[in-house]
Amino acid sequence: MNGPVFILKGNIIYSKEINKFTICEHGYLVCRDGYVEGVYQTLPFKLGGYPVHDYGDCLIIPGLTDLHIHAPQYSFRGLGMDMELLEWLEANTFPEEAKYKDTDYAKKAYKIFADSMRKSATTRACIFATIHRPATLLLMDLMEKTGLDTYVGKVNMDRNSPGYLSETTKESAEETLEWVKDVYHRKYENTHPILTPRFTPTCTDELMEELKKLQMRYQLPLQSHLSENQSEMAWVKELCPWAEIYADVYDRFGLFGADCPTVMAHCVYSDDREIGRMKENGVFIAHCPESNMNVSSGIAPVRKFLEKGLHVGLGSDVAGGSSENLFRAMAHAIQASKLRWRVQDDSLEALTAEEVFYMATKGGGAFFGKVGSFESGYDFDAVVLDDSRFKSPRPLDIRSRLERMLYLADEREVHAKYVKGKEVDLS
Amino acid sequence: MNGPVFILKGNIIYSKEINKFTICEHGYLVCRDGYVEGVYQTLPFKLGGYPVHDYGDCLIIPGLTDLHIHAPQYSFRGLGMDMELLEWLEANTFPEEAKYKDTDYAKKAYKIFADSMRKSATTRACIFATIHRPATLLLMDLMEKTGLDTYVGKVNMDRNSPGYLSETTKESAEETLEWVKDVYHRKYENTHPILTPRFTPTCTDELMEELKKLQMRYQLPLQSHLSENQSEMAWVKELCPWAEIYADVYDRFGLFGADCPTVMAHCVYSDDREIGRMKENGVFIAHCPESNMNVSSGIAPVRKFLEKGLHVGLGSDVAGGSSENLFRAMAHAIQASKLRWRVQDDSLEALTAEEVFYMATKGGGAFFGKVGSFESGYDFDAVVLDDSRFKSPRPLDIRSRLERMLYLADEREVHAKYVKGKEVDLS
């Protein structure tokens, strides 16, 4: 499968539009030079002679994009969940992240994280590391080896952080600069730097200004958190009384998508003005439904984001979310939207399987370019799912089999995975 | 392990009270004649010489009780979820359940269900079959072979049901009587009959009266649905204008726990009067959080049930819920309660890991007697969990390891399982 052209055969299912699956049963998916050439029910004559990998009755879907995940938090996924956001940060997150100052610990922990990501159905991810430059580079080395294509960010924190996990403004700016230089020296193929101010409560205005300079110098994308939780919102209002909407705390510094691609996690409490600003600036939203449940944040108005034409993808947000498995995120997105419709606001209809699948593939994939679909010219990211573990007394159509994956699939179903035309080693 | 006394060694964790785990690290759990004799940090001298099965660093927990699951719906778990309850019943449930008239189909489908139950962490369950007597007996044969201890009910439906899945009142009563007689002839050790009027919309008053006669003649427990969904509530109000609260539609016929153990699924919309009635009558509540999300029902006020001292257990409610995995039900119960607190009613605090674990063990287990704990005299239902799949860069305490199971465990973690002192074959 290493030649410029190869072909996968199976039950191909992907999204062109948000509310419809495109299905080609027992079809052919053609890769040329790392890009999708096309999907064919019958293989065109001109493609005869190229290698065909026949995956039988498996499903073949585009790779999934995780728009928001914290690598250092993987070590405490599913732990200490009986708390709200700010308490949870103090009690679980900060003490754990401080350990990544120790590169031996980081190596051990990040190896576990990278292995899990490699075996999952995820092909693209936006990843938070910690404030530590050496450990962040180590994580990038490990992610590069997985074959996944990812953005990884050294975190910035220069205020309201415990002494054991804090930088001065100067340190934070300098270390970030050094880290970016280190990254360019390492010439990764699939691993890219992304600016990562943790969130406004831990970043001074001065630091934001420094990050903007860096962004302009290196054309760096940016990831952060936005309007996640009510206590956090109140804190931001206190810290930045000048901000009319939460988004201002980034936008004032030019760090809200105006110049470089930007992804904001959560947006549970984004109002119409904030939604408008995200639309204008092309900001991506990482919807993280399980995390929003686990740390009692609430339910984001995703239907409204979609109606307004915003870019929306899904995030596992480990360890606010408990698993890197994005199928779970899809199910949780549907479930949360149903509860929102039922108990909060019945003007916004629940999300469908089609919509959340789109978000997990083409929606979030767009942050990486033409990614997340099998339309011609897209990067060849494909996941082959063997769902034979789920025995059924009756035959199921392809759409049903995919819907079932949202609720039940995990890494056991991932039979093969390709990123930009290269097969990932799942062993 | 077949003698009258044997001992399991491992990290024992169980509930005596609802808000506290009782933990015995590297301790001994002693079984005598199918009952728990005790939990010991050091094995008493008098117990020397009995066989000890050392499960090393595994966790040992009480078996889980699934208070509400539909066996015939296992075939479409995770399918057709983009609908609300009544539409979902018409589109998915009734057509599928009709197939169980065919015992060949039933055998194939129920075999898959029984195998999954056997391999899960569940040791007790209250199971709905369909209206069909032969298929229900077939299911009971299969459940008996699993070694689990279960209640299984032939469903009753004599109105508002599609022609292909309906009984006359006379048929329904007679078939139920014949079924109960059949069951007694088969002399199952672990499989018990339970009256199962589907819900009021599908059962006439006359049928309810017939079921009451049967109940009194055979002392049969009963399972049904209560106050699940707003459209269903409205329908019940139309059908039974005389009912002041939904519970009246059972209580009027003496079928609401006054004479025999009764379990009601959902209770999402039970008000204070209904809660009071359940308390008086000792009715068990099967809280089914995932199902309540999936069919857009809402979120039950579980905190209130607990405050009032009601019996509350968990139900997977497949296929309203997508999985028989009760660990997921525990996580979903916490998550739903957090959203309820946040978006619906902040007077009811979210549930904790301790509380949902209690519900899944001792809370629901009480429907089966002294079941679901390792206190002396309880039935010896134990599950050995090997959580080594979840690698961690740091050591975790026993409570943390159990909490993580709620979010991440599935049948892969079930290393061994005992029901009433007998080991279940997990192969």
Per-residue pLDDT tens digits for B36-52: 999 999 999 999 999 99
Q: Mind listing the pLDDT tens digit for each residue in A293-339?
A: 999 999 999 999 999 999 999 999 999 999 999 999 999 999 999 99
Can you list the domains of chain A with their CATH numbers? Answer: 5-63+373-423 (2.30.40.10), 64-368 (3.20.20.140)
Residue B154 in this model has a pLDDT that exceeds 70? yes
pLDDT value of residue B368: 98
Give the mutation candidate from B103, B115, B318, B343 for the A interface (greatest A CB count, under 10 A).
B343
Give the mutation candidate from A88, A339, A408 for the B interface (greatest B CB count, under 10 A).
A339
pLDDT mean across residues, chain B: 97
pTM above 0.90, yes or no: yes
Percentage of chain A lying above the pLDDT 90 cut: 97
Q: Which residue of A has its CA nearest to B338?
A: A296
Q: Mind listing the pLDDT tens digit for each residue in A267-285?
A: 999 999 999 999 999 999 9
Q: Mind listing the pLDDT tens digit for each residue in A97-137?
A: 999 999 999 999 999 999 999 999 999 999 999 999 999 99
CA distance, residue B388 to nearest chain A CA (Å):
13
Q: Mind listing the pLDDT tens digit for each residue in B328-386?
A: 999 999 999 999 999 999 999 999 999 999 999 999 999 999 999 999 999 999 999 99
Find the mean pLDDT for residues B20-28: 98
Residue A2 in this model has a pLDDT that exceeds 80? no
Find the mean pLDDT for residues B142-159: 98
| A83 confidence band (pLDDT: 50, 70, 90) | confident
Looking at beta carbons, which residues of chain B come within 8 Å of A298? 339, 342-343
Q: Do A323 and B77 touch (CB under 8 A)?
A: no
| B2 confidence band (pLDDT: 50, 70, 90) | low
Q: Mind listing the pLDDT tens digit for each residue in A406-422?
A: 999 999 999 999 999 99
Find the mean pLDDT for residues A30-42: 98
- Count of other CB atoms within 10 angstroms of residue A44: 11
B297 touches B268 (CB < 8 A)? yes
A94 touches A165 (CB < 8 A)? yes
A305 touches A340 (CB < 8 A)? no
How is chain A split among helix, strand and coil, in percent rounded to 5?
40, 25, 35
Angstrom CA distances, A93 to A90, A125, A368, stand at 6, 20, 28
CA distance, residue A400 to nearest chain B CA (Å):
6
Give the DSSP letter of residue A118.
Answer: H
Q: Mind listing the pLDDT tens digit for each residue in B314-328?
A: 999 999 999 999 999
Separation of alpha carbons A398 and A62, rounded Å: 15
B120 touches B405 (CB < 8 A)? no
B155 touches B129 (CB < 8 A)? yes
Opening angle at CA B412, ends B371 and A83, nearest 5: 70
Q: Do A293 and B78 touch (CB under 8 A)?
A: no
Separation of alpha carbons B176 and B193, rounded Å: 10
Percentage of chain B lying above the pLDDT 90 cut: 97
Task: Count the residues in chain A.
Answer: 427
Find the mean pLDDT for residues A217-236: 97
| B84 confidence band (pLDDT: 50, 70, 90) | confident
Give the DSSP letter of residue A318.
Answer: B
Looking at beta carbons, which residues of chain A come within 8 Å of B77? 404, 407-408
Find the mean pLDDT for residues A51-56: 98
Opening angle at CA B311, ends B308 and B313, nearest 5: 125
pLDDT value of residue A328: 98
φ, ψ (nearest 5 deg) of residue B20: -150, 135
Find the mean pLDDT for residues A61-71: 98
Residue A323: closest CA among A41, A10, A73, A43: A73
For residue A319, whether the previous peptide bond is cis, meaning omega lies within 30 degrees of 0, is yes
What is the residue whose two structure tokens read 């691993």? A191
pLDDT value of residue A161: 95
Q: Which residue of A has its CA nearest to B231?
A: A342
Q: Do A298 and B343 touch (CB under 8 A)?
A: yes
Angle between helices B398-408 and B326-339 (to 10 degrees): 90
B167 touches B176 (CB < 8 A)? no
Residue A1 in this model has a pLDDT that exceeds 60? no
